[in-house]
Every structure is written in structure tokens, then in C-alpha cells.
Homo-oligomer: A and B are copies of this chain.
Amino acid sequence: MAEYKNMSKAELEALKAELEAKYKEQSALGLNLDMSRGKPGADQLDLCEGLLTAVSTSDEAVLNGTDLRNYGGLDGIAPMKAMFAELLGVSASEVLVGGNSSLNMMYDTIARAMLFGILGEKPWSQQGEIKFLCPSPGYDRHFAVCEAFGIKMIPVEMNHDGPDMDTVEKLVSTDASVKGIWCVPKYSNPQGITYADEVVTRFANLKPAAKDFRIFWDNAYCVHDLTDTPDQLKEILSACKEAGNPNMVFEFASTSKISFPGGGVAVMVASEENLDAVKKIITFQTIGPDKINQYRHVKYFKDADGVHAHMKKQAALLKPKFDIVCDTLEKELSGLGIASWVRPNGGYFVSLDVLPGCAKKVHALLKDANVVMTKAGATYPYGVDPKDSNLRIAPTLPTVPELAAAMNMLCLCVRLAAVSKLLEA
């Protein structure tokens, strides 16, 4: 197929008519599809049905003499810390176990910084305007937390190997009001990019103007590989230690997309000095998270190998879904010069860049045809994609046939929006 930009006006108009006819035809099929939500499918959740009964009796709820049903255990049970330590390549003393939501731990971390400050620095809420760097496209809920707290967001470009580190280094080292940066370092949301070793090293070697600057390292997809040659992410805590910045990173992870999103276990990972300060505050907040549910996970998965084996089963279910998404994009859009994407090795999303000024239009066309996508712009701070070009595809929840139908419709809309755009120009 020819690139659209090389087509004549007459050719474009003929193509437009053809695509509009197809759109009308396919819309009439009464589709009802949703590619908007980064939710596991029921088949994935069924894989760990045994988790539900992993702690079935009173006797099984006892761990080394500690009754897990009772109060206590502010920072989690030892084997849960050990499992995440192994998964993330850190020490168990650097792991703090929380409730069922890593987002909650991130929000609370920022709330604590706002109210109490970090390691003796002034509370953020008393420091005037503060800012976070936001590699974009990124995760809308990260940006929403900043917006809730009135933290000014500064978008940073994503390169193929991570955030644009020249910009990050410059802003972090010169502006003391820059207090944080949001990162999804492995299989980033939405692009599926894993930060290169050099990028991680540059992160660890940042020289922040603010003593209370922290990297928010949301390792949400740490074990969420789709292939036998998964991406490898350099471990950042030890890199920070080596660089003389042991306290500069707060890492987060959870089993939300390993076991059950509605009943998993989340962790925060940081230097012991950071965690000691956190624990001094959360001791006022809670007597401790749900230890029984932690122990269910420990008994069910046993160790990091158990988790990896489980994730291979998930990959077997997910790979065909990602394949149909990427194969359809390739078949329908490659060579047209109107869209770009990367086939990810893991994670939960495929990011699609359409012609500038077309993302909202594509979203609207799909909506009219009853195909739901994440709102255009959602992957950018304040919901504003300056180029109006990024769309996020979430392949996990629909079935393969549903995905096939939805992707055909998506590609059709991308083409239709592109043709219309080019005709306007």
C-alpha cells in the first residue's frame, strides 16, 4: 500500500468514501467492545483459584508461632517480604508490605511527604509550588494523584529506551521544586518500553537540587513477560546505593496483576532509612495490613520461581491477545505512514500513535461504533496530549475474537481519521 501522504486529493477522496462505507457497514453489526481497561480476564484469574483456599483452617493461619488472624505486623510477614525481595532483587529489609493496592501506597507516600516531609525536610505542602516530572505518555492514575495534590506536572518525552534523560537531569539538578518523577520502568504503561541499563544508571546518578526529591519507580509489570526472551530491568536500589544516592528511590509493586486485582498484596521498596521513617508514621495509621491474605500468597506461590511459573501460564493466555492486536496493526496500517506502535515483550498495553490531531477523532469514531478505548489524552498530564496522537490499547480483558473485531474497527477508524485529516490540510 502507498503512504497516504503521497496520495492525490482525488485518490484520498475516493479512499475516504470507501472507508466511510466500510465504517457504516461495520457499525451496523452492533459491536459492543471494550479495549479501555487494564484488567485481567477471568481466565487469568481462574489460574490461581487455589489461592482462595491456601489458608483454610485456623491451624494454617499460624506462622512460626504468630497467629496471623490477630493484630500486629505493621510492615508485613517475613516470607511475603522475602518473596518480593527475590522478585525485585532487593533485600527483605527493604520491603514494606501494604494492603491490596500499590496505588494506595503511592498516594499515601505523597500524602506523607505533603504533611510530614521526607527525612527531616519541610513538608511539601509548606514549600510553595512543587513539581513532578511525568514521562509521557504515561499512567493516568499517576497523573491524577499529582492533580489531586495540586502538584504541577512537567511532561518529559519518552524515547525508545526510557525517558529523555537529558531533560530529566537538567530539570532535577537545577530546580529544587522538582520533588519527584513517575516511572513505570518495565513494560511501561502504555508503551511497553523497558528502561535501558544506561537510563537506570543515569537515574541512580541524578544530582537533585532538592534533598527530598524521590524517584517513584512503579514496577507494576516486573514479572509480566509475554515471551521467552523477556526484557531485563537493571535493579535501581543497588544502583542508587552505588551512586551514593541510597535514599533517592521509592519503588512499588503488587500482585494485582499476578493474583487478584481485587484481593492481592502491594509492597513499597526503599532503603532501610526511608522505610524506618515511613514506619514511624504508618504506626499511627494502622495496626497492620491483612496478614492472612499475605500468607495465602506465600503458601500458594511458595517463592519467586512459583510466581514466574504462574506468570508463564498467564503469558500463554495473553500472548495470543497481544498478537492479534499487533498483527492487525501490522496488516492494516503498516506502510501507510499514518500510525506507529511497538510490539511489547510484556506488560498490559499496546501504545498506538496516529497522525497528529487524529487521536480524539479516532476515539470518537470508535465510540459511535460502540467500541470503547481509553480516552484520547488520558496518557498525558492533565489529560492533554499536545499532539493529539496517542491511543492506549488494553488487550487483556476482551476475548481474542472480540479483540479481532475491535482491532479491525480501530484500524478502519485510524485510516478514516487520517484521510480526513490529510484532506483538510
User: Which residues of A line the B interface, CB within 8 A?
Assistant: 37, 39-40, 42, 45-46, 49, 52-53, 55-58, 60-61, 67-73, 99-101, 103-104, 107-108, 111, 114-115, 125, 141, 144-145, 147-149, 256, 260-263, 281, 284-293
Contact B42 A287 (CB under 8 A): no
Bound together, the chains give a CA A45 to CA B69 distance in angstroms of 7
16 CB contacts below 8 A, A to B, read A42-B67, A53-B53, A71-B256, A71-B262, A99-B99, A99-B100, A99-B290, A101-B287, A103-B285, A104-B285, A104-B286, A107-B285, A114-B115, A147-B284, A262-B288, A290-B290
Contacts of A115 in B (CB 8 A): 111, 114-115, 125, 149
Q: Chain B: which residue is nearest A99 at the CB level?
A: B99
Contact B58 A286 (CB under 8 A): no
Contacts of A104 in B (CB 8 A): 285-286
Given contacts A45-B58, A49-B58, A52-B56, contact A107 B70 (CB under 8 A): no
Contacts of A68 in B (CB 8 A): 262-263
Bound together, the chains give a CA A61 to CA B287 distance in angstroms of 27
* A217: min CB distance to chain B, Å: 19
Contact A52 B292 (CB under 8 A): yes
15 more A-B residue pairs beyond the given contacts A73-B262, A103-B287, A111-B111, with a C-beta to C-beta distance below 8 A: A46-B58, A52-B60, A53-B53, A68-B263, A69-B263, A70-B260, A70-B262, A71-B256, A71-B261, A71-B262, A103-B285, A125-B125, A261-B287, A263-B293, A293-B293
Contact A260 B292 (CB under 8 A): yes
Contacts of A73 in B (CB 8 A): 262
Contacts of A70 in B (CB 8 A): 39-40, 42, 45, 260-262
Contacts of A288 in B (CB 8 A): 101, 262
The complex is assembled from copies of this chain, and their number is 2
Contacts of A61 in B (CB 8 A): 52
* A103: min CB distance to chain B, Å: 6
Bound together, the chains give a CA A288 to CA B256 distance in angstroms of 12
Contact B52 A55 (CB under 8 A): yes
Bound together, the chains give a CA A40 to CA B53 distance in angstroms of 24
Given contacts A99-B290, A148-B281, A260-B292, contact A57 B49 (CB under 8 A): yes
Contact A290 B293 (CB under 8 A): yes
Bound together, the chains give a CA A300 to CA B128 distance in angstroms of 51
Q: Chain B: which residue is nearest A40 at the CB level?
A: B70
Given contacts A99-B290, A290-B99, A292-B263, contact A108 B49 (CB under 8 A): no
Bound together, the chains give a CA A148 to CA B70 distance in angstroms of 25
Bound together, the chains give a CA A29 to CA B32 distance in angstroms of 76
* A109: min CB distance to chain B, Å: 11
Q: Chain B: which residue is nearest A148 at the CB level?
A: B284
Contacts of A284 in B (CB 8 A): 107, 141, 144-145, 147-148
Rank and list the top 6 A-B pairs by shortest CB-CB distance, nearest first: A263-B292, A148-B284, A69-B260, A107-B285, A71-B261, A104-B286
Bound together, the chains give a CA A103 to CA B287 distance in angstroms of 8
Contacts of A145 in B (CB 8 A): 284-285
Bound together, the chains give a CA A17 to CA B281 distance in angstroms of 47
Contacts of A287 in B (CB 8 A): 101, 103, 261
